[in-house]
Structure 1
Amino acid sequence: MLVYRIATNEFVHDLSGYGAKLNGGRWNREGVAVLYTGSSIALCAWEYWVHLPDTVTLKQNAFSVATIQIPDHSVLKIAPKLSAQLQGQDNSRLHALTDDWIERNEHLVMQVPSAIIEQESNYLINPAHPLFTEAVLESVNPFSFDKRAFGKVLLK
């Protein structure tokens, strides 16, 4: 199965999960390395976009999209109906799910519902899992955000 990741050119080849480990995220607490990927390039763009600060200048040609092949046989699927947890500010339950997944070490990938588009999925990859070598960086291509998406108020 193919998953995608948008990152700055500087970090797009880094599949270590170091950024998530350093900062923590919705699904992982600080200190836990996971690689966040999405089911589509469009979902990844939305996920990146919603986490940008209110005022930001994005340089043209500063981003790339990585296409990563992951094995279908090692994906743990988390129930898509976690909307209360996904929308809340307290991610402790989600962190506990991720900690348990990593501790059990049974699956390379955990499929989780997107908080941005609930019908879509994100895929967390455990870089410390023995099957991590089966997660193959297929390609890296330039990616640009359309400037029409910025400076518009979608919802108030």
Structure 2
Amino acid sequence: MQLYRIGKTKHAHDLTGVGAKMNGGRWNYLGVPCIYLSESRALSLLEYSRHTSLETMPPALSYITFDVPEHSIRTFQVSDLPVNWLQRPYSKENRDLGSLLLAEADHLLFKIPSPIIEQEYNFVLNTNHHLINLVKITEVISYKG
């Protein structure tokens, strides 16, 4: 399965999740590595732009295409998520759930509704899962925004 993200070009080949580990996110605390992905390039750009203004957008961004195995996915529906999952700043309940699931490492991916378009999905890639070596970055394309 192909999944996508947009990010700084200098970090395009990172499969360690160091960015999320250093900054935390909706589904992870600081210190917990993972990689946030989307089911399309367009959704990855929407998600990125929600967190970064045009004025502060880095000049060197790339779309990164990941080839990820499909046999280790846990899918969540809105009804499975904490009631305050859309809260900003991110809720403790979200980070508790995501960080626990990442630590348990039972699944390579978590498929979660997008907070922007709930009918589309984002994914959290567990960089500590034993199948991470099967994940490949297949394409890096410069963003020409």
TM-score normalised over the length of structure 2: 0.89
2:37 matched to 1:41?
A: no
Q: Conserved in 1, the CA contact under 8 Å of 2:82 and 2:93?
A: no
Is contact 2:76-2:112 (8 Å) kept? yes
Q: What is the distance in 1 between the residues matched to 2:22 and 2:51?
A: 16
Partners of 2:98 and 2:58 in 1: CA distance:
31
Instruction: Determine the structure 2 residue equivalent to 1:86.
Output: 85
Cα distance in 2 for partners of 1:57, 1:104 equals 34
Paired AA for residue 73 in structure 2: V
Q: How far off its partner does 1:67 sit?
A: 0.6
Q: Deviations over 1:56-102 (max 9, x none)?
A: 3653xx11111101111001112234484232134211112212212
When the two structures are aligned, how many residues end up with a matched partner?
Answer: 143
Q: Which residue of 2 aligns with 1:22?
A: 22
Runs of at least 4 residues of structure 1 off by over 6 A?
Answer: none
The answer on whether the counterparts of 1:4 and 1:65 sit within 8 Å (CA) in structure 2 is yes
2:134 corresponds in structure 1 to 134
Give the distance between the partners of 2:42 and 2:82, measured in 1 at CA: 21
Partner amino acid for 1:74? Answer: S
Residues 143, 55 of structure 1: CA spacing in aligned structure 2 closer, same or farther, 3 A cutoff?
closer
For structure 2, which runs of at least 5 residues remain unmatched after alignment? none
Percent identical residues: 34
Q: Distance in 2 between matches of 1:141 and 1:53?
A: 21
Structure 1 segment 90-109 matched on structure 2, within 5 A: 90-109=90-109
| Higher CA-based Rg | 1
Structure 1 residues 54 and 64: alpha-carbon distance in aligned structure 2, compared to 1, 3 A threshold: closer
Report if aligned partners of 1:75, 1:109 keep a CA contact under 8 Å in 2. Answer: yes
Q: Which residue is 1:151 aligned to?
A: none
Give the partner amino acid of 1:122: N
Q: CA deviation at 1:136?
A: 1.1
Deviation (angstroms), 1:30? 0.7
CA contact (8 A) 2:36 2:125 kept: yes
- List per-residue Cα deviations over 1:81-124 (Å, max 9, x = no partner): 44842321342111122122123221111111111211111111
8 A contact 1:83–1:115 mirrored in 2: no
- TM normalised by structure 1 equals 0.83
